[in-house]
Chains A and B, each alone.
Chain A
Amino acid sequence: DAGVIQSPRHEVTEMGQEVTLRCKPISGHDYLFWYRQTMMRGLELLIYFNNNVPIDDSGMPEDRFSAKMPNASFSTLKIQPSEPRDSAVYFCASTRSSGAEAFFGQGTRLTVV
């Protein structure tokens, strides 16, 4: 398996624009997680899905953030409108089952100017 695949790897956008980050989890993994990493706050969980259903979105910072998982092999994290403070590295991770080993993608480095 190619592992967790994220796209794009880098995104630079202007404040106010919509940004969509994409993730393909490892095939057969039932759980998908979105994390954000910043120097100030480290790694924070934003939202996670189980069998394509959002389970906990308490980490989503604002209504500007939304996430979907239309099928078992694809998820998106959308920010609309984007702001400079959203600049961070966004990671997607997946696990085979509850509490199993987590595998991370290479991340998307987002810069909002």
Chain B
Amino acid sequence: KQEVTQIPAALSVPEGENLVLNCSFTDSAIYNLQWFRQDPGKGLTSLLLIQSSQREQTSGRLNASLDKSSGRSTLYIAASQPGDSATYLCAVPWAGNMLTFGGGTRLMVKP
């Protein structure tokens, strides 16, 4: 069964810093990995989907990388803003379609 771990569990940074969130998974036989953002009391918003054939995916100030062989993905946020404060979750599918989620990284960007 797939297990997904996210480090750190919480992160507090001053505005403007570049930061990296980490995600690791135990079964490297995946065909994609998805990063989500969750605001308090809200649903999950899809940020990026990386296919296994890709190594990186970019959207605005966000860049996600995937290294299947080592079972790792990183989400890079450039020039962080207070509006980036949220919980970030990574998820990988196993047995075809069932997403397994990490525990999330709770990010606080201070003005």
Interface residues of A (CB under 8 A from B): 4, 31, 33, 42-43, 45, 48, 50, 55-56, 91, 93, 95, 98-99, 101-107, 109
Contacts and interface: CB of A to CB of B under 8 A. Distances in A.
Contact of B96 (A42, A99, A105): A99
B95 A56 contact: yes
A91 B96 contact: no
* B contact face: mostly helix, strand, loop, or mixed: strand
A101 B44 CA distance: 12
A95 B97 contact: yes
Contacts of A98: 96-97
A101 B46 contact: yes
A99 to B, nearest CB: 6
A48 B89 contact: no
B101 interface: yes
Interface residues of B, number: 24
Contacts, number: 52
B93 interface: yes
Interface in B39-91: 41-46, 49, 89, 91
Contacts of A104: 36, 43-46
A45 B34 contact: no
A42 B101 contact: yes
B43 A101 contact: no
B42 A101 contact: no
B43 A99 contact: no
Contacts of A55: 97
Given A104-B46, A106-B43, 15 more contacts: A31-B97, A42-B102, A43-B89, A43-B101, A48-B98, A50-B97, A55-B97, A56-B95, A93-B99, A98-B97, A101-B49, A102-B34, A104-B43, A106-B42, A109-B41
